[in-house]
Structures are given as structure tokens and as C-alpha cells.
Amino acid sequence: MSAKSLVVSVILYVMGRVRSRARGGDPISNAKHYIEILGNTLRSAGVDPSQVSNLLESQEVPRYIGVAIGGSVVDQGECDVNKPLRIPFIRREVSVGPALLMNVVINGARARDDYGTIVNELDKYVESLGGLRLDWELLITTLISIAKSTLTYVPYSTCGDGNTYSAYAVAHAAAAYASTAFSKDKYVIVVADIVGIQDIISRINRTEKAMRQLKGRSILINLLQHAVATRLIRDINRKLGVDALSPVNVLVNTGGEVVMLIPAIDEDVLNGVIEELEDEVAREFEGRVRVVVARSRVHSISDNFGDALGEAYGERDNRRYGRWKKFIINGKDLCDMCHMPTERPIRVDNQTLCPFCALAHRIGGVSRRLGTLAEVASPVNQPGCESMSILGINYVVCLEGVRLGVVPRIIYDLDRLSISSAINAGHALFFLNTRMPTDEFGELKSFEDLGSVAVTVKSDANKMGDLKSKVSKLGAAQYVLFSQLLITIFDAYGAMLYMNTPNYSDSVFIVYSGGDDLVVVGNHYALDYLVRIVKRANEFGINVASGAMVHDARLPIYLVWHDTEERLNRAKDMGRDESLVYLLDTGKSPVILNIDRVRDVVNYIEQRHAWAGELEGEEGEASRTLMYKVTTHLTRMYDLLWEMREVLRDKRGSKDLTRLNELRRGLVREVINYVYLINRNSRNAQGILNELPKNLHPSNIASTLAPILRSQDNQQEALKALDGLLNDLGVIVARINLYRQLLEKQQTMPT
């Protein structure tokens, strides 16, 4: 029994099962239909179609599917084809589909496709694949990509709890287990981790040409993680002299992390490949980038996937933190971009760069309008394209509109799968933002082009560590689905959103989006982009914490990175059960709002931007001045309330009553001054009052503050009232302060 034939039979069985919902018949007859189409393609990859057909009739296929979902499979046929895919492992259960992947990317959890549409797409891709002649690695690369594109948000079964499993995730995980027939159903989990991605990307001591460098580093990290997975597959196969591994063994490949379920091969061979790969990464990038690869012990396929994964993660942490390989750089030259010594200086555009920064610079130049990303057999020298070697694998990136002059080995389809029998190449989905702001000459803009100030946002999903551990215990199939869910939100939707929103094209830079992380730089539209990404994550029950910072556009990147990271962590500390954003600092207190409140702030800034012409003249200037004075008093009230909240929430149990009384008196004084200011300027105040919530109007402010000022009577009531008022005030304070920083400074201060 060939492990290759088993892998193919598992994938085609799941495809046939879905096809039967639109075409009739049973899963096996529909799978055999695909075998007829792919016969010559399978033979060219060293797979016997008749053996695949025979395996479909055996019990091997359902056995491996049962292992993938963590339990036995009872085939009840098909019941209700209208059942959506239920995602049970999120904080609140989410239903989506059945739908094609790109429909979910565009429309989120409300996406729906009928099975006729889904199967038509599946049939189209399989027929295109049938016209290609590929080796084993490329065949599986393309077959898995077809399943991912069509079946990710389609239930594996429409009976019982079968709709809690993704058809794609089951096919991928079960096929990975089927590959262990090579080692008599024994497997090992391998985890590869690019250490310190955020530090790698942000290590820039200048702002000139920094955007090109940041974007280049982001793409380089994505390519590096793919290169690591590819090298592990190819190096192991070369040393064994047989195709034991393929891309089906790669369960997760995003956010700088690779998780593989591979056959249990000779321990010395695996350890040798790991050591060589780690050393090669350090040498190639002079220690700028460090990759840690770890493995679990040998497991039987009947063992719990989560336990095996936990072992691999534990070993990864030991290798990551327990020991450091010494890497000495003897070079005397300093890189102009990262300011680190280099033995191999490279002159690029009148700069002295290290190999890592030079490569990022070249990639970043093409990323402004990225059209093609591919793996090629040998370096390409073609105008409009940049050729590069990463860990000995040749990649090429080309500008939009430039047709690659050679036949690639693998085409990385950048938004949706596009297989053509005219080009005999493998295909892989690779979601990537392919646009960046450019000037009138088509050159990539820099931060300085934003004006005097910019806003930087960093985001990170909450409780991902706990969720990963929980999902892994449910089986490999659910772990694959979890990974694809994050890719759908942060990689695929993020890229699509940018491409389809004209307001972003001139002023928003997507620095990094992968795994569950996001870094964006721009004007106020960077906050709009953040809101839309986080709201999409919320649709699927995932909460995201963010830190935002308005800063001088010439401030060094690493300083901005550090401060936004601190703000992000502060937002996490405030609460991980909702999506909070540390939006700004008053000088005394943080303004931390939930994502819906941030949307209110963004809408206000955009409206004020549109109404700028209406604020001209003496009347407009008087209203603007009054608005700023009112905001000053409201900001002082906010600071006093924030400190009062901290005193009341003192977990040590010792309330500083003296300080609490001082804060109450200070709050009363500010309220009196605020009410006096509004009443004295009643002619110009109506417009401002229309923008304030009713509880902050002079006639209502006393009753709003009453439960807070009586905090000694009912502390819980006081804290509840405090939280509500802080939210209301925080929105007002953020609106005006961000409006002034982001728009007025841009108009009055020189670049």
C-alpha cells in the first residue's frame, strides 16, 4: 500500500463527498470521477490511479479521517445540505457558509453559496489540474490549494455533528496522517518558529526609505517561513531517498510559525536536518533572523494531537530561551538601515546595507504594485522583476503588468487561485497585500509624505495561546481550521479590504499582517482600517487588543514600535473579553475604548475633515475655540475620574479616603467651570452640545455624577457609573484631540 496513493485517496474522497451534494451519487463514485480526470497527472507524480481507486473502497480512508477529527466516523450519508459550518471552539459558537473561501473573505460570517456554485468551482480547478504534469510535491501543493479555496467553509458532513468539521481541514489533516503509512502509523510533530518577528521588522534607525524597508521585511518574513517548511520537506526527502514528506504535512504556515505532522523517520536524520537549517538561517542573514525548529517524541496516530503538539512547543521554548547559538560577525561595516555590523556589505541606492536589509530593500521596491510571486528553477534577470535566493530556493517577484519570461516551478496566487493548463506549474494560495501608497511618479511613498504627523497601530488577538491549546485537544482537523480562520481574517480580508478601499491607497501603509498580528501606519484612515479588521474578527468570536499612537512622522521606527507595543499590552490588561484600543494619552491618563467607540471617533474625524470649509470665518473660529476650551475641561474631568476609578479598584483593599475626597472636590470644581463656560457662550455652544451625549449636557451633568460622588454609599454602583462616564468622556476627548493632532497639524505645519 503506497502512502502517496493513500494521501490522494483521502483528499479525493472528501472532495467527492462534497460533490455528491450537487451532482448526486455517493462520495466514492464522485471521487472516482476525479480520478478519471487526474489519471495522467497522478501517473506523472508517481501515483497509480487504480491503487487510489481501490483504496477508496477500503476502510483505510475513513480510519484516517476518524483520526483527524479525534473520533470514529459513522457514515450516515447526507442529511441537510443547508446546514452551515459550525465553528464550536470560539468563545461563542459561529456559523458560516457553506461558502467558497473568497466569499467568506469578502462577506464574513454571513457568506453563503449553494452547492452548485461550490462544486462548479471545484470541478473547474480539478479539470485544470488534469491538464498539468507535475511532480509529487507540486501535485500535492496544488491539490491542497484547490481544497482550501473551495472547501474551507464547507461542512465535512451534513448529518449529526459532522458540520462542526471543515471539509478542507478534514481532508488536509487526514491526508497528513495517511502519509504516516510510510512509518507504520507513527508520527512526529515539528514546529518551526521565526524568533522575534516584530523586532526583526522594526529594527530601523531612520525614516527615510523606511516604508520600503518595512514592507520588504514583512514579505521577506513570509517567504522565509515558506522556505523553512519547503527546505524541511526537501532535505528530509533527499536524505531518505524517497518522497516521504510533501506540503500535506504542513498543517500551519502563517505568522512566522510552521507546524508539521510528519512520518516518524530516523531520529538522526531529522535532528541533522534541523541543526543544518537553523545554522544556515543564522549564516545567511548574519544573525539578524533566528529560526528555531523543534520536534516532539514519536507518537502513534491514536495518541492525542494536542499532547504531541504541546511536547513540540515545550521543546521549542527550551531551544528558543534555554540556549543561544553564538554567532560572531567580524565585519567592520555598519548597515545604514539597521545599524548592525556586517561582513558582507552591499551598496544599494547610495546606501551600505547588510544582506538582510539589501534583500528587504529590493523586495520593498517591487511591493508597491506586486503582480507576480513565484518559485523558479534558477535566478531570473528581467526588467520589472527582482530575483532572490532564500535558503537556496529561488524566488522572483514582479511588478503588476510584467509577464514572467520563464515557466515557474510554483506560482503563488496572491488573492484567488488561478490554475491554467497553459502553464505547467504548481499553484499555492498566498494572501498578501499587493499595494502600497505611491507618488505621481509611481514610486513608493515614505512616512514623511503623510505630513508632520502619522498614526501607528499595532494589534494582537486576545487569548490565542489558550485557544490554540484548547483547539489542539479537539484534533488536528480543528487545529487546521483554526489556522485558516486567522488567515481569512488577518491575511486574506486585510489584503482585500485595502485593495477595495480607495481612501487607503494614498495614505495607509500595511506594514505587517499575519497570524493574529497587525501593524498599520498612516493618517486617520489607519484607524478606520483597524476598526474594520477588528470588527471582522469579532464576527468570528475573536477579540483583538490594539495600541495606537499619533507621533512625529520622522520619529525612528523602533521607538514608535516600542511605545505602541506598551499601549497594546495595556489594552490587554484592561480586559481580554472585548476588543479594546489604547487610543491616546491625555498626559495623565490613558484613553482606552472598545472598538465600537473607536468607530465613533473615526467617523467624527472623517466628518470634521469633510466639514473643514464650513468652519472658516469668525463664527467658525469662535466655535472651534469654544470646542477646544470645552474639551480641556472635559479632559480634566476624565483625568480625575480615571484616578478615582484606580483608587476605588485598589485590590489591596486600602482606599485612600483623603485622596478620594480631594478628587471629588476637584471634579466638582471642573464641572462648575465647564457649566459656566457653556452657559456664558450659549450662542456658540449649541453645535457643541449637539455632539455631546445627553448625560454631559449642563442640565444633566449633576445627576450623572451623583452616584460617583456617593461612592462611599455604594461602591459597585459608583464603579459602574464611573466606567460608563469614562467611556462617554473618552470618546469626546479622543475625538477632539485626535482631530487636532491628525488634521489641523497636517494643515498648518510644514512637512
Q: What mean pLDDT, rounded, does the chain reach?
A: 87
- Residue 705: what pLDDT? 85
For residues 486 and 205, the model is more confident at 486
> Cβ neighbours of residue 321 under 8 Å, at least 6 residues apart?
none
**Residue 449 scores a pLDDT above 50:** yes
Dmax over Cα atoms in the chain, in whole Å? Answer: 90
Section 671-692 average pLDDT: 84
CB atoms within 10 A of CB 616: 10
Confidence bin at 460 (pLDDT 50/70/90): very high
Cell of 328: 560572531
Residue among 634, 219, 272 at smallest CA distance from 412: 219
Do residues 191 and 313 lie in contact, with contact meaning Cβ atoms separated by under 8 Å? yes
Do residues 435 and 423 lie in contact, with contact meaning Cβ atoms separated by under 8 Å? no
User: Measured in Å, how far apart are the chain's first and last C-alpha atoms?
Assistant: 69
Eight-state DSSP code of residue 554: T
Confidence bin at 338 (pLDDT 50/70/90): confident
- Residue 712: what pLDDT? 62
C-alpha 508/C-alpha 503 separation (Å) is 8
Beta strands of 414-477 (E only): which ranges?
426-429, 453-461
C-alpha 493/C-alpha 537 separation (Å) is 10
Confidence bin at 743 (pLDDT 50/70/90): low
For cell 480586559, the residue is 575
C-alpha 546/C-alpha 533 separation (Å) is 11
**pLDDT-above-90 percentage for the chain:** 50
- Residue 186: what pLDDT? 96
Helix axes 27-44, 49-56, angle to 10 degrees: 160
Do residues 343 and 329 lie in contact, with contact meaning Cβ atoms separated by under 8 Å? yes
- Residue 369: what pLDDT? 83
Gyration radius of the chain over CA positions: 28
- Residue 488: what pLDDT? 93
For residues 537 and 745, the model is more confident at 537
Give the model confidence (pLDDT) of 506-555 as tens digits.
888 888 887 888 889 888 899 999 999 999 999 999 999 999 999 888 88
Query: Range with the lowest mean pLDDT among 21-25, 143-147, 678-682?
Result: 678-682
Question: CB-based burial of residue 585 (10 Å sphere; 0-12 exposed, 13-18 middle, 19+ buried)?
Answer: middle
Question: CB-based burial of residue 536 (10 Å sphere; 0-12 exposed, 13-18 middle, 19+ buried)?
Answer: buried
**Residue 269 scores a pLDDT above 80:** yes
Give the model confidence (pLDDT) of 113-137 as tens digits.
999 999 999 999 999 999 999 999 9
Phi/psi of residue 45, nearest 5 degrees: -95, 5
Query: What DSSP letter does each residue of 297-346 carry, written as one string?
Result: --EETTS-HHHHHHHHHHHHHHHHHS----------EE-TTT--EESS-E
Confidence bin at 739 (pLDDT 50/70/90): confident
**Residue 587 scores a pLDDT above 60:** yes
Cell of 332: 567592520
**pLDDT-above-70 percentage for the chain:** 93
Look at phi and psi of residue 24 and say left if phi exceeds 0, alpha if psi is from -120 to 50, else beta: left
Query: Range with the lowest mean pLDDT among 46-60, 82-96, 324-338, 597-611?
Result: 324-338
**Residue 11 scores a pLDDT above 60:** yes
Look at phi and psi of residue 545 and say left if phi exceeds 0, alpha if psi is from -120 to 50, else beta: beta
Angle at 463 between CA 161 and CA 65, to 5 degrees: 30
- Residue 564: what pLDDT? 92
Give the model confidence (pLDDT) of 708-733 as tens digits.
877 665 677 778 888 888 999 999 89
